Structure 1
């Protein structure tokens, strides 16, 4: 079997790969950023209307409503990544946008929670949009320049995050929770039209077929295990429903690993993953999971007044905008810097910087940031730099270690790690808070001990992530990304070893 990290190859003449910013490149980047704005409307925007959704569907399953799209994204990713390599990244991206837009319409019109969750599952296809935009950049740009552009498109959508809390607050007050899904479907439709009309189709394709049975089995296994993590806290870790998800998911993963991953063209060649790529994926799953869990905690802290005497809380004038607006700038800055630094020293070092920042922010948050808004804002900004750096560097690492004809497949693995880390750590954090609840004014609330335990868990995950990061930096030492003009076949073969 081919090693997924077999090197950097190109099927196109060097003249057609962009090496710097031009009007055409700016136009392509703007459209790909629009795609990722749509992804944000699927993943993040519904969190602003969770109470309204709870009332509309008479349910308290906040976590399931919030995480269903990310769970579905982990299921969609392997199938869409392999399909993109075979049938073309632009074609699959357009289909992905149309499916996600349809999901938004289903959510908009859903009469029952089960139909709403089905819509969220369809919307989950949008998660693939992020890694497909990265794969398209790798087809259009020379290797070094592609790292910079990747930083711009993966973090540029954060600009939308600066204004979205304020816009959505006004819009939902005027039109209700459904406006969130109107916007999501509209962004999906616009992005599909622009991608079809402006983004060129890729010449880098891999002859073969999509192992649909393997993709569905792998995706179903991931969904089963993640659903157990999602529902175990609510229904009990040993309840029949929870165990059914776990057993079914583990069984599907075993069937895929033992049988279906050995077919001539598996959806993911797991045995061909190099040590460098494996270490990078491990860093991404731990680092992004820890960051996402802290983002969830900030939402809790903003709702609690420090004068309540609980030992935590940062509610106050402008707290929501400061905690969720300024960090959007940090995500954009972290992504752009990670791409720029990666062109000079490789993607492993900015990945390491992101982990270091996350661990430092966790320490500061633990010691002084749970009841002081200025400190919490600084920590939130540091975490956002971490997020931008980790996502951009994770995709850049995959781009460096995979040839163009397998960019979709390998980039999808990064997205699966982001989804797994996000869902797992969010629910671990929820379980920690649930185990430390106290009664305050007749209601159950999180205790100060629970809040600090939550931060400690996230900090420990960052510290543990430093271990594979160290070995990754050692493994990648001396392997600088070549410019397209510097690439020869001999160099390419050497780069994959």
Structure 2
């Protein structure tokens, strides 16, 4: 009996061993399949220029040309819009789309990571196209501003094109391509005035919004048909309530900063807008951002990304404020003796046409440098170039057209470099499935920096205005103080840049993200 029992136990042991043996093989098989799947997915990434990549880049550049048309084209028809809507409050026309872009960005960034970047980009373009149609048929200024808010969704299209690049191209090559996509559209800024001028004479101010709507719909169609969908998405859901509250808070504060000088800082409307924005931001930070999947994980932002965003907000803000200043300088002749006028027959074309090339050169150069040594170095180079440009204007005097053109060109290179480098830094710091969320933060910082620095510059000019020939005009002291403020901001941006370079030292490779946000 004991012998039979021993033989039975041995048989059972062997059976269990045999049954367990396939398990390790199955695990190995699963791991191998996963590895092959990963390698195949990575194999779809492009490592160099091909006809297909050129086609992708051309379409994404077209998207950003549409973004430029949304932001800049209405400024060509401000007098006609004023007559059509019987208003002189042009600030709403210029600021509404950018402010709406800051409001849209967090929602669209998170949605893109979860639902696919191409899908959200197509929806964004269609919303922007609908906004153009609303502006086209608007019977009053209120409906027109609503259309501009819808058009503001196009601003978010910029960072979605960048996020898509990371899904199409290998990391290092993606940095070079980003430079072309973010800044290549600036070249069209040279020919835009020449195209719009005869069209405006023939069809009136509405042609601007017809072109914008057609561009948006055409871009949406091409993106849907040609651009591949994201292969990597993040699990989770979109906190729509959090996105709306955060967007409302950002819009409220930025509207107050941007338009308070127009409507009065202490007027009831301005104070209500500021209060609503502040309450919304406070509620979002204390309550909604603590949810398991917030629209932006602000507490999870790494020190490196925080430093990068700080450099972006300071550098792009200083550049945008200088761009606003140039538009004022060309209206005053040097003969008036105010010490800052640069009005001349070619001033408009030289100050706003030639620098478009600078934006493209700065963006392409930043992309190339980022791919070789890392985006922090091109970001720092943009800051130093901006500081040099403002120093030239401050020391040499703003009354010289050649020096103003040189400074404008250098500042445009700064703009192209900083925008490209900011997005490239985000691509290094975030995994592919979170590119939309992190890139949206860069877009928000660009909007915040632009609005804030434009307000500071306007306040400086307003406090130093003088009376000349019976009219209140900007003084030479005010203009030079304005330039000095921009220069100081560039100089201060060197501090976070220094710490950013130290933290990113040793992370030159871009084959994988160095940290999560």
TM-score, length of structure 1 as denominator length: 0.94
Task: Flag structure 1 segments of 5+ consecutive residues without an equivalent.
Answer: 1-9
Question: 2-side partners of 1:381 and 1:135: how far apart?
Answer: 28
Higher Cα Rg, which structure: 2
1:108 aligns with 136
1:463 aligns with 491
Question: 2-side partners of 1:142 and 1:440: how far apart?
Answer: 59
Out of 289, 307, 322, the position equivalent to 1:294 is 322
Residue 478 and residue 328 in structure 1: after superposition, are their counterparts in 2 closer, same or farther (change >3 A)?
Answer: same
Residues 75 and 222 in structure 1, CA contact (< 8 A), matched pair in contact too? yes
Out of 156, 159, 173, the position equivalent to 1:128 is 156
1:26 to 2:62 alignment: no
1:208 aligns with 236
Length, aligned pairs only: 480
Residues 64 and 230 in structure 1, CA contact (< 8 A), matched pair in contact too? no
SS at match of 1:44: helix
Out of 343, 359, 362, the position equivalent to 2:387 is 359
1:155 aligns with 183
Out of 259, 264, 278, the position equivalent to 1:236 is 264
SS at match of 1:81: helix
1:425 to 2:425 alignment: no
1:333 aligns with 361
Question: 1-side partners of 2:151 and 2:455: how far apart?
Answer: 21
Residues 347 and 397 in structure 1, CA contact (< 8 A), matched pair in contact too? yes
Residues 73 and 128 in structure 1, CA contact (< 8 A), matched pair in contact too? yes
Q: Give, in angstroms, the shift of residue 60 of structure 1.
A: 2.3
Residue 190 and residue 406 in structure 1: after superposition, are their counterparts in 2 closer, same or farther (change >3 A)?
Answer: same
1:196 aligns with 224
1:309 aligns with 337
Higher relative contact order, structure no. (Cα contacts within 8 Å, ≥ 6 residues apart): 1
Out of 455, 465, 469, the position equivalent to 1:441 is 469
Question: 2-side partners of 1:351 and 1:496: how far apart?
Answer: 20
Question: 2-side partners of 1:11 and 1:104: how far apart?
Answer: 43
SS at match of 1:210: coil
2:415 aligns with 387
2:274 aligns with 246
1:177 aligns with 205
1:178-237 per-position Cα deviation (integer Å, ceiling 9, x unaligned): 222121111101101110110011111111110000000111000010011022112222
Residues 143 and 481 in structure 1, CA contact (< 8 A), matched pair in contact too? no
Report which stretch shifted further, 250-259 or 308-317. Answer: 308-317
Residue 284 and residue 142 in structure 1: after superposition, are their counterparts in 2 closer, same or farther (change >3 A)?
Answer: same
1:123-162 per-position Cα deviation (integer Å, ceiling 9, x unaligned): 0000010000000000111110000000010001011111
Residues 304 and 314 in structure 1, CA contact (< 8 A), matched pair in contact too? yes
2:285 aligns with 257
1:362-394 per-position Cα deviation (integer Å, ceiling 9, x unaligned): 111122242111110000000000000000000
SS at match of 1:444: strand
SS at match of 1:310: coil
SS at match of 1:206: coil
TM-score, length of structure 2 as denominator length: 0.90
Question: 2-side partners of 1:113 and 1:370: how far apart?
Answer: 37
SS at match of 1:157: helix
Question: 1-side partners of 2:516 and 2:85: how far apart?
Answer: 52
Residues 137 and 150 in structure 1, CA contact (< 8 A), matched pair in contact too? yes
1:373 aligns with 401
Q: Give, in angstroms, the shift of residue 63 of structure 1.
A: 2.2
Question: 2-side partners of 1:495 and 1:249: how far apart?
Answer: 32
